[in-house]
Amino acid sequence: MAPLSRKPLGDAERRSFGWSILLLLFVASELLLADAPLHPPAKYKVCSPNEVFCAVADPASQSVSVFARGATVPIWSLNSWHRQIFLANDGDHLIIGPSGLELIPLDTKLADPLLTFMNRKAIVRAVSVGDLFASLSSLRRTASHYHWGRVIGVSARDQLIVQLVSGKRVAFNISTGLMEAEK
């Protein structure tokens, strides 16, 4: 029957209705791939999986400070704010995620850093886009960026777990920044 009537649909009307549904689904899928703007920089706190240490990222002071739980004086700090950080159970190792979270710019090169592994203020290893992807064609294009995947977080076994856009999970050793089997 025709929508909102009791009259049966003919062949031409069925085809037209089918194409309308298909077009609606296509438009809806394109909206899902649209890029939403990031929230303005804001102060936030993340804690290690064992909750012994917490890091406070503050855009007002352009800093990331790591505290023992309940302490008011940081045990160490970085003089830069980052939109996405992850803290290991030892409180010494911190990972900086991409500033665009799950999105990276279209002008990204394979050599560009994606994840930065730190031991306090020292960079241990920078994982590049090319360390995770053979080519940029492996990434999913959105309206104005590439969707690379997402950082799931630090596991209870001190591994950084990442899920690539393909769905594959990758684990990194927190201390070295090297890929390893997920524990």
For residue 103, what pLDDT is reported?
84
pTM of the predicted model as reported, rounded to 2 decimal places: 0.75
The verdict on residue 37 lying in a domain is no
**Dist CA 54 CA 91 (whole Å):** 8
Q: How far apart are CA 149 and CA 102, in angstroms?
A: 6
How many separate domains does the chain show?
A: 2
Is 19 among the domain residues?
Answer: yes
Domain coverage including residue 26: 1-32
| 119 and 59 inside one domain | yes
The answer on pLDDT for 28 being more than 50 is no
Asked whether residue 17 carries a pLDDT value surpassing 80, the answer given is no
Q: Tell me, yes or no, whether 88 lies in a domain.
A: yes
Q: Where are the beta strands (DSSP E) in the chain?
A: 44-47, 53-58, 63-68, 76-78, 85-87, 93-96, 103-105, 113-119, 122-128, 140-141, 145-147, 149-154, 159-164, 169-173, 179-180
Per the domain annotation, does 39 fall within a domain?
A: no
131 band by pLDDT with thresholds 50, 70 and 90:
very high
pLDDT at residue 7 is higher than 80: no
Q: Using one digit for the tens of pLDDT, what is the confidence trace for 48-103?
A: 999 999 999 988 998 889 999 889 999 999 888 888 999 999 999 999 988 777 78
Angstrom CA distances, 145 to 8, 33, 175, stand at: 46, 10, 30
Task: For residues 18 and 48, state if they share a domain.
Answer: no
Q: What is the CATH number of the domain that holds 123?
A: 2.40.128
